[in-house]
Amino acid sequence: MKNKISKLVFLIILMFATYHLLNAQNDNLKKYQKLLKAKITEKLNISDSLADKYFEFFNQSRDGIKKLNKEKIEIIQSIEDNPESSDISTKIDRLLEIDQLIENSKKEYFNNLKTIFSPSQIAKSIVFQKNLRQFLRKEIKKKSNNRD
């Protein structure tokens, strides 16, 4: 009986450790998102609700472009694998079409931003995204170098 209890305790500890590991990661993601929101709010001098709207537009655009890019990669792969295929022309046309759709998605994103931001705020948001990418690139590179 006591032996069974000790085994149960062991399993509970194991599951608790796993849960803690997952939660730590989720916490950091939440902190990251919170931090981004605070930064954009400060940089653009906007309200919380506007910051929320901004991220909504940004993520919406990114998801759309992500799907299009995925399709583009698949088409490029199929062209590389079989350049002699009968529908190669259609595939090339679709590639060009996807590029156009990506451009449209960017335009739509900026049109959406125009409904909530002033032009200078839009410009600042672009600079913000650029700097954020650069910062993450630099930090991740640094961490990877440390790991190597």
Partner 1 sequence: MDKNSSKLSYHIPDYINGNINDKEIISAIENEININPEFKKIYENFRNTFNFIHSANVSEPPDHYFNTILPRINSRIHTRSNLGFSLISFLRNIRSHWKYLIPALPVILILLIYRISFYKITNIADSSENFSNKNTENGVIMNKDMNDNSHVNESEDIVQRDNDQLNSEINTFNTLKSKKVKNNEQNKFYNIEENIIENSEETDFFSKDEEELNNLENEFLDLNEESQIEILNNLKNEKL
Residues that bind partner 1 (CB under 8 A): 2-3, 6-7, 10-11, 14-15, 18, 21-22, 24-26, 28-29, 31-33, 35, 39, 43, 48-53, 55-63, 65-66, 69, 102, 106, 110, 114-123, 126, 128-137, 139-140, 143
Nearer to partner 1, 77 or 134 (CB): 134
- Specify the 3-state DSSP secondary structure of 94: helix
Nearer to partner 1, 69 or 90 (CB): 69
Nearer to partner 1, 31 or 90 (CB): 31
Nearer to partner 1, 87 or 103 (CB): 103
Residue 133 CA, distance from chain mean position: 11
Q: How far apart are the first and last CA of the chain?
A: 49
Write down the least CB distance from residue 72 to partner 1, Å. 11
Write down the least CB distance from residue 87 to partner 1, Å. 26
Distances in Å between the alpha carbon of 46 and those of 39, 126, 132?
10, 15, 18
Write down the least CB distance from residue 85 to partner 1, Å. 26
Please tell me the distance from the alpha carbon of residue 123 to that of residue 114, in angstroms, as a whole number: 11
Largest CA distance in the chain: 73
Nearer to partner 1, 79 or 102 (CB): 102
Please tell me the distance from the alpha carbon of residue 2 to that of residue 9, in angstroms, as a whole number: 11
Write down the least CB distance from residue 69 to partner 1, Å. 6
The secondary structure of the chain in percent helix, strand, coil, rounded to multiples of 5, reads 90, 0, 10
